[in-house]
Amino acid sequence: MLVAEELLGRILDELLADTGGFAELFVQRGAFTNITLENRADVSANQGLFAGAGLRVLRDGRQRFASIPSLDEADLVKAARELSGSQGASSRSRFGGFRPSAPRNPLPQAESPSELPLAAKRDLILSAEEAAFAADKRVCGYSAIYRDSFSEVLVANSEGILASETLAGTTLYQQVTVREGSEQRTGAQVLTAELASDLSVTRGHEEGAREAVRSALLQFEASSSPSGVLQVLFAPGAAGPLLHEAVGHALEGDFVLDGRSPFAGRLGQRVSAPCVTLGDGGWAPGRRSASEYDDEGTPVSRAILVEEGVLRGFLTDRATAPALGSPLTGHARRESYRFPPMPRMRNLFVEPGPSETEELLRSIEFGLYVLTTSGGAVEAPEGHFLVDVTLGNVVREGRLAEPVSGARLAGTGTALLEAIEGVGNHPGPSAGSCLKAGQVVGVSESVPAIRVSELTVQGG
């Protein structure tokens, strides 16, 4: 155990001594690797270890938080006393002890980044770079960012929860530039895994590089997109990042509480078509940021937010659930021990519908098929968006016609939800990183093909 159970109880006593309320200790120890490569020559790499604790007290809707880069007993006790304002003179223990935790289905055993030497990770990126340049003579640039992490986490709180977990993850982002005459195009690919050495085992990094090349070359064949209010079909997975940014954030409890969410006060109301059931499945083995517990020690849940088009709930943590009168969903997340938790998505999903993607396509007389998106801007949680379409096709009489690139999609998350008229039966994955209030965490989405009755398309 990262910290002895006896010491955990003492720290919670100190936090509760003069404040009462709810007290929590979040302990973390881990390792990381960062490698970047640019222009075939500039490779930088660093590895490191970290350890520390975040201490928190909640009382009467107000939060106190402090963090220290130490797991030393004296440092922990000092930090707890400073946060609570006590002098270590409480007359009796306020903490009643830890209760047994319910058995869970454990995630696959995580691997430490140290299982794969730094030199091997560097060679992994160099081999991906070579695969990119070998894929086509028009490739003129390659860059990559590789990150992995391994973390032992322990959460102890005054309600008797004691939860621990070992997590790991790898992300490899590759971007390729191709040139044809005087024109250049770029393509990108993101690979993620929940084991720190998984990319090297599967050799997926080289295929990812070739896929980035293919994406860039396809853009040379694309023409400008039509403009106007069009019927739009998103390929499986293509709508995931947009739904995350334009809809998912608006369903996080803190945004609902502060009145910024357009869904505030709308529980029980219809917000989409009956074909739409949307939620967040925090416990999703094999998906990015899968976990048994959230960062407050609450078991993660499969939270249904929109059920058959009706708004049913929000993503909550201990600070927002009581104020909203909602149950805990197990969606408290933090970047590391240095930050307090907040309600966040992990693995946004849309339940598959009854239709094949081809069926959804056949009913479109004239519109746009979106294969991939990138860039743009989204105002969260209000949901106003302007998103670039990297690759797609014009749809004519139910068939894919000429390829297009450079279009922009504009609208709001609420209008997007309201306009969904069909959901495919085959989910497509997507993954990335999400920034909120200065904290970056990994996220993923599982979304089938989505057909929207109308969406503003700005041709490019």
Same domain, 383 and 408: yes
pLDDT band at 91 (very low <50, low <70, confident <90, very high): very low
Same domain, 350 and 432: yes
- Among residues 131, 141, 195, 207, which one has the least CA distance to residue 166? 195
3-state SS, residue 415: helix
3-state SS, residue 454: strand
Same domain, 408 and 321: yes
Same domain, 271 and 385: yes
Instruction: Report long-range pairs for 190-194 (Cβ below 8 Å, ≥24 apart).
Output: 190/431, 190/432, 192/288, 192/431, 192/442, 192/444, 193/169, 194/107, 194/108, 194/110, 194/167, 194/168, 194/169, 194/170, 194/285, 194/286, 194/287, 194/288, 194/290
Tell me which residue range forms the domain holding 183.
113-155+163-220
CB burial of residue 30 (10 Å; 0-12, 13-18, 19+)? buried
Q: Is residue 107 part of a domain?
A: no
Same domain, 362 and 426: yes
Name residue, tokens 């695969």: 131
What pLDDT is stored for residue 459 in this prediction?
86
Q: Is residue 69 part of a domain?
A: no
Same domain, 447 and 333: yes
- The last residue of one of the domains, among 176, 194, 220, is 220
Same domain, 233 and 171: no
Q: Is residue 198 part of a domain?
A: yes
Q: Is the pLDDT of residue 356 over 70?
A: yes
b/e for 101-138, b at 16 or more Cβ within 10 A?
eeeeeebeebbbbeebeeeebbebbeebbebbbebeeb
b/e for 140-179, b at 16 or more Cβ within 10 A?
ebbbbbbbbbbbbbbbbbbbebbbbbebbbbbbbbbbbbe
Q: Is residue 242 part of a domain?
A: yes
pLDDT per position as a tens digit, 32-59: 999 999 877 778 998 999 999 999 999 8
Same domain, 240 and 291: yes
pLDDT per position as a tens digit, 63-80: 999 999 999 999 999 999
Same domain, 281 and 427: yes
- Among residues 210, 201, 71, which one has the least CA distance to residue 136? 210
What pLDDT is stored for residue 196 in this prediction?
64
Tell me how far CA of residue 198 lies from CA of 121, 171, 175, in angstroms. Answer: 11, 10, 20
User: Which bin fits 271, alpha (ψ -120 to 50), beta or left (φ > 0)?
Assistant: alpha
Same domain, 232 and 203: no
Q: Is residue 302 part of a domain?
A: yes
What pLDDT is stored for residue 404 in this prediction?
94
What pLDDT is stored for residue 67 in this prediction?
98
Q: Is residue 397 part of a domain?
A: yes
pLDDT band at 202 (very low <50, low <70, confident <90, very high): low
Same domain, 278 and 422: yes
- The last residue of one of the domains, among 220, 244, 262, is 220
Same domain, 210 and 246: no
Q: Strands 366-379 and 228-234, how do they pair?
A: parallel
- The last residue of one of the domains, among 182, 204, 220, is 220
Q: What is the mean pLDDT of residues 279-287?
A: 71
Between CA 53 and CA 112, with CA 317 as vertex, the angle to 5 degrees is 45
pLDDT per position as a tens digit, 136-187: 999 999 999 999 989 999 999 999 999 998 888 889 999 999 999 999 999 9
Contact at 8 Å (CB) between 23 and 157? Answer: yes
Q: How far apart are CA 173 and CA 145, in angstroms?
A: 5
CATH number, residue 201: 3.30.2290.10
CB burial of residue 388 (10 Å; 0-12, 13-18, 19+)? middle
pLDDT per position as a tens digit, 412-431: 999 999 999 999 999 999 98
Q: Is residue 18 part of a domain?
A: no
What pLDDT is stored for residue 89 in this prediction?
52
Helix residue ranges, H only, 258-394: 321-324, 357-362
Count the Cβ atoms, other than its own, within 10 Å of residue 62.
10
Q: What is the pTM of this model?
A: 0.92
**How many domains does the chain contain in total?**
2
Q: Is residue 312 part of a domain?
A: yes
3-state SS, residue 140: strand
